[in-house]
Structure 1
Amino acid sequence: MHQIISLGLILATAFLFNAAAAAHMASIGMWGFAVGRLFFAPIIVFYFVHTLVYFVVRLIRGKDRVRSYTRSRLNYVGAVVAILGVLGAAAGPA
């Protein structure tokens, strides 16, 4: 359940903040970049960070002290990092 909530928050944030930029990209024919910015990039960042954090914590605390991959609250750590990435992509170059 924690992973579904995290993914929902990430995708909602990505669609909310990047919809205008993705619509502009799609209008000039850059469909791949638009889909990547809205969907694939946040999901890849989330799973990369969550996997890294999960296995490091599991290595430190032990297998018995950490819930399963999809049910651990470590999903929220990956979600926060992915949302920060979405916000950074929405802000664009400074």
Structure 2
Amino acid sequence: MHQVISLFVILTLTLLLNAQMAAQMASDGNWGEAIGLLLFAPLSIFFASHTLIYYALRLIRGSSALASYSASKLNYIALVISLLGMLGAVAQRAQLPA
């Protein structure tokens, strides 16, 4: 359930924060970039960070100290990492050139 909640939050916030930019990309004919911005980028960052954190802790603490991959609360750490990356990308786009 932790993973479902995390994925729902990531996809919802990504849609809310990047909808305007994705619509501009799609209207220019860049459907691949729009889909990548809304779907593939946040999910790949989430799963990559979660996998790295999970297996690093499993290596250090042992397999008996952690819950299963999808049921561990490490999903929330990966959620925060993904959200920080997404917010950084949105903030970088929001800066106007001098």
**What TM-score, normalized to structure 1?**
0.96
Question: In the TM superposition, what are the counterparts of 1:73-92 in structure 2 within 5 Å?
Answer: 73-92=73-92
Distance 1:9 1:25 in 2: 23
Name the SS for the 1:32 alignment partner: helix
* Structure 1: 4+ residue segments shifted above 6 A: none
Deviation at 1:88, TM superposition (A): 1.4
Name the SS for the 1:58 alignment partner: helix
Q: Which has the higher relative contact order, 1 or 2, with Cα contacts under 8 A spaced 6 or more apart? A: 1
Distance 2:31 2:91 in 1: 20
Name the SS for the 1:91 alignment partner: helix
Q: Structure 1: which 5+ runs fail to align?
A: none
Q: Structure 2: which 5+ runs fail to align?
A: none
Partner of 1:68: 68
Distance 2:92 2:37 in 1: 12
AA at the equivalent of 1:69 = Y
Deviation at 1:92, TM superposition (A): 2.6
Question: In the TM superposition, what are the counterparts of 1:24-43 in structure 2 within 5 Å?
Answer: 24-43=24-43
Q: How many pairs does the alignment contain?
A: 94
**What TM-score, normalized to structure 2?**
0.92
Aligned sequence identity (%): 51
Structure whose CA Rg is larger: 2
Partner of 2:55: 55
Partner of 2:3: 3
Partner of 2:15: 15
